[in-house]
Amino acid sequence: MVCNIREIDCQEAKVWAAPLAIVGAKLWSATFTGLAYYTPEIVKGYTDLAFTDAVLESELSDPKNRFLAVESNGEVVGYAKLEMRKSEPCIQTKNPMYLSRFYLDRSHHGTGLAKKLLDAVNDTATSLGFLSLWLSVWELNVPAVKFYTKHGFAKVGEWEYPFTSQGKQYVDIDWLMTRPIK
């Protein structure tokens, strides 16, 4: 299995929008369908809004965002999205960068590829002058919480994560986690 992690240049937004939209919707659906109140209909309603080609192209084109794509044998199997944005008050680490998405197909869990992606995230953030990372993770997404904790992230607060599906508003409680870049 040949795996490659590469940073996507914002000039490549049109090329990468569809592949990232497809894998994002697929992996978000696989993670959340069946957890708590996440019915297949709620998940589809959300992914149909959040993972369109137009949304991803806009995000990829934004110079405040950085994307890292994970390819295995020529297929996109995950990605990370970093954002240069103001952190929440509970984030006390120095000069933090927001890790807003970290997706990897389950077929690659336990292979070390997630750690390699996190290392690439660290390298990208460091190259931009950031000294720490922060993220939000749904409190009921236990595998993700375990992964982040294993890799040095600590819970420092919570926030409400609102989202819309099928015209209805939902709110999850996400943990805010942070750590210095190693």
Q: For residue 46, what is the domain's CATH number? A: 3.40.630.30
Residue 2 has pLDDT above 90, yes or no: no
Q: Which long-range contacts (CB under 8 A, 24 or more apart) does 167-172 make?
A: 168/45, 170/37, 170/42, 172/138, 172/139, 172/140
pLDDT tens readout for residues 59-102: 999 999 999 999 999 999 999 999 999 999 999 999 999 999 99
- Structure tokens, 173: 């409680």
Strands 168-180 and 154-165: antiparallel
Number of domains in the chain: 1
Range of the domain at 94: 3-180
3-class SS of residue 125: helix
In angstroms, rounded to a whole number, what is the distance separating the alpha carbons of residues 2 and 86?
36
Model confidence pLDDT, tens digit, residues 163-179: 999 999 999 999 999 99
Strands (E), 55-167: 65-72, 75-83, 96-104, 132-138, 154-165
pTM more than 0.85: yes
- Residue 72, classed as helix, strand or coil, is strand
